[in-house]
Amino acid sequence: MKFEHVALNLDRYREAADWYCTHLGMRIVREKPGAMVFLADETGTIVFELYANGAAPVLQPDVHHLTLHVAFTVEDVAAESERLLAAGCSVSEALKHVGEATMIMLRDPFGVSLQLVHRG
């Protein structure tokens, strides 16, 4: 069995997809206009779907970041978090060090929790 994708139901999924491409380096690998977008990371092996389906609950911005978050590995957590804060994110949990890892929890402009992490 091979992992394919994780999906998030968002009200503004297409706007979120553009934001992820611009600010997180994602790229669109498949799209059904008006319905869904598949995004891949720089490796092309990790994919997630952003979609809008009115028949199902959308992701709520008050979901705790430990319940659901999308994690990105970065070289400089502090610098990347400052860049993303300027792009509309907010802090959910402050920068911290856990063992050899440095991480921060952000919330993107669409309510999705993002974790930036650098593991030593």
Structurally, the chain folds into a number of domains equal to 2
Which domain range does residue 101 map to? 60-120
Rg (CA), the chain: 14
pLDDT of residue 61: 85
User: Quick check: 3 pLDDT over 90?
Assistant: no
**Which pLDDT band holds residue 109 (cuts at 50, 70, 90)?**
very high
Same domain, 67 and 45: no
Same domain, 93 and 64: yes
Q: H helices of 1-120, where?
A: 13-24, 77-86
CA distance 98 to 80: 18
Same domain, 118 and 69: yes
**In this predicted model, what pLDDT tens digit does every residue of 9-66 receive, in sequence order?**
999 999 999 999 999 999 999 999 999 999 999 999 889 999 999 999 999 988 999 9
Q: Is 103 helix (H, G, I), strand (E, B) or coil?
A: strand
Same domain, 51 and 74: no
Residue 35 belongs to domain with CATH number? 3.10.180.10
pLDDT of residue 120: 83
**In this predicted model, what pLDDT tens digit does every residue of 70-83 receive, in sequence order?**
999 999 999 999 99
Same domain, 47 and 5: yes
Question: Is 19 within 8 Å of 109 (Cβ atoms)?
Answer: yes
Q: Which of 72, 107, 105 is nearest to 89 (CA)?
A: 107
